[in-house]
Amino acid sequence: MNKTSLTLNQLQLNSSGRVRAITAISPLRHRLLDLGLINDTIVKALHRGPAGDPTAYQIRGAVIALRAEDAACIIIDPVN
Amino acid sequence: MMTKTIALAGNPNTGKSTIFNSLTGLNQHTGNWPGKTVANARGKFIHKGKTFTLVDLPGTYSLLANSLEEEVARDFICHENPDATVIVVDGTCLERNLNLVLQIMTVTPRVIVCVNLMDEAERKGIKIDLNKLEKLLEVPVVGTAARSGIGLEQLLDAIDRVASSRITSKPVRIPALEYRFSADELAAGHESIAASTVAAAEAIVRQVVTIVSQEPHQFDRRLDQILTSRRFGIPIMLALLGVVFWITITGANYPSQLLSNGLFWLEERLSYLFLQLGAPGWLHDLIVLGVYRTLAWVVSVMLPPMAIFFPLFTLLEDLGYLPRVAFNLDYYFKKACAHGKQALTMCMGFGCNAAGVTACRIIDSPRERLIAVITNNFVPCNGRFPTIIALASIFIAASVGILSSVTAALIVLAAIVLGVAITLVVSKELSQTILKGIPSSFILELPPYRKPQIGKVIVRSVLDRTLFVLGRAVAIAAPAGVIIWMMANISVSGQSLLAHSAGFLDPFARMIGLDGYILMAFILGLPANEIVIPILIMSYMAEGTMLELETLAELKQLLINNGWTWLTAVCTMLFSLNHWPCGTTLWTIYKETRSWKWTWVSFLVPTLTGIILCFITAQVVRLLGIV
């Protein structure tokens, strides 16, 4: 893992990250794959729910909401 | 001539059902896939003199069988060999959608790609080169804007061409997908297939999509930032619901009055007819005063609020607001160890709890699905809204004057907030007792907002929901009318059966703030919640038939004469919100769970909750002496 790597739930709003690895196990892992979330995919954090969770992410042109504990299974490198 | 079978596949929220409805019109029927609790809609259409059967497959992101829906879609395409498969994709989100297209193309070459929502894409500054896409995929590609009917002719032509094999489509060639996968191989090789289709989709999109505007989804993002914000998210949600109730309450009064005048005018004609034919008196009473009058009550009380509420609710659905409700509430459902999609099934329950229970199929985890099924009854359905609205109007809001409809709407809103709170508490309790477990993962797509098509919303909500619910209520209310009439008219030792039963229930009913007749009305109302108030009125009048009450003020006087206080009204509203599900819902729960045990649990959980809540309310209020 890169020194600057984060898990997706740590990504600041309005910033983007590149997927390094997905540590989730099936069925979550397969669902993420089906949404096009594979290594090197760019993900942007858009907004959070009223209670601070879940968070909506932009993934391949679609907006997908993930709970913090599910997003924690996705390791990313921040990109500018 | 043989009928050609056409499969219709696509991601959720791509306008797939709009295309299905436009092509087949009213010529469709729905059911379940054999042995599975997945809805199956089929329709017929004729094009150039040929008959086609269109099979609407469940909306899925993938064919790789994560869920029952995907299994159904995959098995149909792999094993039923449709003459052609139409894959509907969202033009504003082509890349993700192409994933499914490429997966399907690994199992069949007979594919038509329908790029829908071209109008939305254009508005957002997303340009798609359809010719290039067709060249790259080597299958017919048709651009449509199904909501405005654009491109449907071309789509029909393409279906005809592929289905009659006048053109031979060659499947796309992607290195990792060089050979056709069998269904089992598809499931086994999930990871590598997904990786290669995603990469291929990315490469294709780079060549065919040009984004003209700076930020194509800017409007949606701004709207989301308000509608789901920490400060405004929940208040806006409550305000929208409140406005919907207010419009329903205010708007329903006038047509309700008209309808009831009309129906009771018809009753007089019916009575006259019976008299002319020389029918025996008991038959007239049974049919006209028993069956017909019950039906008239149900129709005039239920139809106007439903005809207003359902289109308004469908409008919110059509806008794309419901996924935002699930997004806003997910945190609380997570805390209750339940699934985020339970917020959606709960919303369906506002219309009809039986529909809400059926909707629980969208939850994959069996444990969380059961929680959603058992707690669905805690939100009031349309059959219970009239009871809550009427009691709120006459006992609490009437004294406020011109603001009464606003107050009534606020009370209904409060009832719903209470219902949601109870849903969360009971879900949590169930998760810690008989349905132990941790919440499963939750992925929710927030689709783009769409401009609702008001005309179509009204037509579809009236056809699909209003008439469906009303038809069911009428079918149930007619035999119930006979039973109620008989109970009220058959006397044993000088008292009607109804009075005997009510007397028996009275001591217990008083403990929970009701009286014997109210509890009896709820029990007799098991077939359909909407007849609870009519039965009650009939019992109080002791005339043996349901009476027509011209105004709500007369109803209030009747209730007060029978010893009602505001506490009785509050407890009746509470019990209406929390008691056994109606007969149809119970039957649906049995069909969905295939278990009498869970059907009984679904019966007992809300009933016990209601008894406990009413008991505490009644005892505390009496102890404090404020009634």
pLDDT at A14 over 90: yes
Q: Measured between alpha carbons, how far is B371 from B375 in angstroms, rounded to an integer?
A: 6
Encoding tokens for residue A38?
């594979």
pLDDT digits (tens, 9 = 90+) for B137-182: 989 999 999 988 899 999 999 999 998 875 555 554 444 443 445 5
**Subunit contact A31:B441, Cβ cutoff 8 A:** yes
Q: What is the DSSP string of B504-562?
A: HHHHHHHHTT--HHHHHHHHHTTT-GGGHHHHHHHHHHTSSSPPP-SSHHHHHHHHHHT
Q: What is the DSSP string of A26-76?
A: TTHHHHHHHTT--TT-EEEEEEE-TTS-SEEEEETTEEEEE-HHHHTTEEE
Q: Which residue of B has its CA nearest to A25?
A: B441
pLDDT of residue B176: 40
pLDDT at B535 over 90: no
Chain A partners within 8 Å of B224 (Cβ): 46-47, 56, 63
CA distances from B444 to A64, B66, B565 (A): 6, 15, 46
Q: Measured between alpha carbons, how far is A50 from B228 in angstroms, rounded to an integer?
A: 6
CB atoms within 10 A of CB B115: 26
One-letter identity of residue B45: F
Q: Which residue of B has its CA nearest to A70?
A: B441
Encoding tokens for residue B139?
């299958």
One-letter identity of residue B149: G
* Listed residue (B262, B199, B233, B426) closest to B329, CA to CA: B233
The CATH H-level (homologous superfamily) assignment of domain A6-79 is Ferrous iron transport protein A (FeoA) (2.30.30.90)
Q: Are B126 and A63 in contact (CB under 8 A)?
A: no
Q: Is the dihedral of CA B287, B289, B294, B300 positive or negative?
A: positive
* B233 CB within 8 Å of a chain A CB: yes
Q: Measured between alpha carbons, how far is B18 from B25 in angstroms, rounded to an integer?
A: 10
State the average pLDDT over residues B185-207: 81
pLDDT at B516 over 50: yes
pLDDT digits (tens, 9 = 90+) for B295-307: 787 777 777 877 8
| B264 exposure class (CB count in 10 Å sphere: 0-12, 13-18, 19+) | middle
pLDDT of residue B372: 95
pLDDT at B500 over 80: yes
Closest in A34, A47, A64 to B228, CB measured: A47
pLDDT of residue B293: 79
ipTM of the complex: 0.94
Q: Which residue of A has its CA nearest to B188?
A: A30
Q: Which of B440, B441, B450 to mutate to test the interface with A (most CBs of A within 10 A)?
A: B441
pLDDT at B264 over 60: yes
Q: Measured between alpha carbons, how far is A76 from A57 in angstroms, rounded to an integer?
A: 13
Domains of chain B: 4-216 (3.40.50.300), 233-624 (no CATH)
Distance between A59 CA and the closest CA of chain B, angstroms: 8
pLDDT of residue A44: 95
Q: Measured between alpha carbons, how far is B352 from B381 in angstroms, rounded to an integer?
A: 5
Q: Measured between alpha carbons, how far is B339 from B337 in angstroms, rounded to an integer?
A: 7
**Subunit contact B198:A28, Cβ cutoff 8 A:** no
CB atoms within 10 A of CB B246: 18
Closest in B95, B230, B441 to A28, CB measured: B441
Secondary structure class of B216 (helix, strand, coil): coil
DSSP B379: S
Closest in A41, A56, A70 to B442, CB measured: A70
Q: Measured between alpha carbons, how far is B304 from B504 in angstroms, rounded to an integer?
A: 36
pLDDT of residue B612: 97
Closest in A31, A49, A64 to B233, CB measured: A49
Closest in A52, A60, A64 to B443, CB measured: A64
* B447 CB within 8 Å of a chain A CB: yes
Domain ranges in chain A are 6-79
Q: Of all residues in chain B, what percent carry a pLDDT higher than 70?
A: 91
Secondary structure class of B13 (helix, strand, coil): coil
Sheet order of strands, B141-143 included: B28-32, B39-47, B50-56, B4-10, B84-90, B111-116, B141-143
Q: Which residue of A has its CA nearest to B121?
A: A61
pLDDT at B390 over 50: yes
